[in-house]
């Protein structure tokens, strides 16, 4: 057998064993705590989302220019391979994601060391939190107001604020659309929870601080499980039929693209 061939095989085997050993060391040496960062990368049916600068055509035959894509995520839970759940402190677990204001990441601090295989979170604000009253919202109430995520305290939070202009076969001039979705009392509760498996385990330890890259498809708002035609109603805010449908669509717009397990990354 060719000597160079044997030498190459030996080198490749050594590299493989070293990589495996490095991975094993990272897993076996989990301990302490660290942060988990979740980055929300917005797109539209596979294309990058460019606010106000591009048009996107959905399966309803409508062409949209998106000017605003804001939503609330909350109540984060990390789940390990044994099904054990770590629930992030509730009072600190409400965030606005806003493309226009460059609020595109969530930082979860002081997460216990573990190998996490799944992530659960809410879209919107749950009834338990809202019923604590304005005084019980902490700083989040002001953050929501500053990012156009409130109607008023009495009317509640906007879980989704999706706005722009559109044209269609029947509407040829650019027309404003506004899709605002939230809960309206206990009778119309549009809060939803999403559970996502991670394509790669998120490793947390004193020296490992993972970044979860979330792909978010804005096209799903109108073109998901339910088809919402702007040509029928360009403004949807409080609708007993369409609002729950939009909430289901929104809960389906999230996908974990990849996980980066960074070593010695401190935030």
DSSP the chain: --HHHHHHHHHHHHHHHHHHHHHHHHHHT--SEEEEEEEEEEEETTEEP-TTT--EE-TTS-EEEEEEEEEEEEEEEEEETT--EEEPPGGG-EEEEETTTTB-EEEEEEEESEEEEEEEEEES--HHHHTT-GGGGTTHHHHHHHTT-EEETTTEE-SEEEEEEEE-SS--S-EEEEEEE--BTTTB---EEEEEEEEEEEEEBTTEEEEEEEEEETTHHHHSSSB--TTT-SEESS-TTHHHHHHHHHHTSEEEEEEEEEET---
Among the ranges given (80-89, 116-125, 178-187, 249-258), the one the predictor scored with the smallest mean pLDDT: 178-187
* Secondary structure (H, E, C), 129-194: HHCCCHHHHCCHHHHHHHCCCEEECCCEECCEEEEEEEECCCCCCCEEEEEEECCECCCECCCEEE
Distances (CA, A) of 97 to 76, 147, 214: 14, 9, 12
pLDDT at residue 263, as a whole number: 72
| Rounded Cα distance, 53 and 105, in Å | 22
List, in order, residues 6 or more apart from 35 with CB less than 8 Å away: 107, 108, 109, 110, 111, 209, 266, 267
List, in order, residues 6 or more apart from 203 with CB less than 8 Å away: 26, 27, 30, 115, 116, 210, 261
Examine the pLDDT at 265 and tell me if it is beyond 90.
Answer: no
pLDDT at residue 267, as a whole number: 41
pLDDT averaged over every residue in the chain: 90
Kindly report, residue by residue over 116-171, the tens digit of the pLDDT. Answer: 999 999 999 999 999 999 999 999 999 999 999 999 998 999 999 999 999 999 99
Kindly report, residue by residue over 5-38, the tens digit of the pLDDT. Answer: 444 444 444 444 444 444 445 454 568 999 999 9
């Amino acid at each position: 057998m060719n000597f160079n061939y044997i030498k190459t095989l030996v080198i490749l085997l050594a590299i493989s064993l070293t990589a495996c050993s490095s991975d094993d060391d990272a897993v076996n040496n989990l301990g302490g705590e660290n942060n988990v960062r979740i980055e929300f990368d917005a797109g539209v049916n596979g294309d990058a989302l460019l606010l106000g600068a591009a048009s996107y055509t959905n399966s309803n035959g409508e062409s949209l220019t998106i000017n605003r894509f804001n939503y609330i995520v909350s109540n984060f839970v990390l789940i390990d391979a044994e099904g054990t759940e770590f629930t992030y402190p509730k009072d600190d677990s409400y965030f606005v994601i806003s493309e226009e204001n460059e609020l595109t990441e969530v930082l979860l601090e002081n997460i216990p060391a573990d190998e996490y295989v799944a992530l659960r979170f809410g879209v919107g604000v749950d009834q338990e939190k809202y019923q604590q009253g304005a005084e019980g919202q902490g700083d989040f109430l002001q953050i929501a107001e500053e990012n156009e995520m409130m109607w008023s305290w009495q009317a509640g939070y906007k879980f989704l604020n999706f706005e722009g202009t559109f044209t269609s076969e029947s509407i040829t001039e650019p027309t404003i659309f506004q899709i605002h979705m939230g809960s309206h009392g206990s009778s119309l509760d549009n809060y939803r929870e999403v559970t996502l498996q991670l394509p790669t385990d998120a490793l947390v330890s004193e020296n490992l601080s993972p970044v979860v890259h979330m792909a978010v498809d804005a096209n799903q708002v109108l073109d998901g499980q339910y088809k919402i035609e702007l040509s029928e109603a360009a403004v949807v805010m409080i609708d007993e039929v369409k609002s729950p449908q939009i909430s289901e669509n929104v809960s389906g717009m999230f996908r974990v693209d990849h996980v980066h397990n960074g070593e010695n990354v401190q935030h």
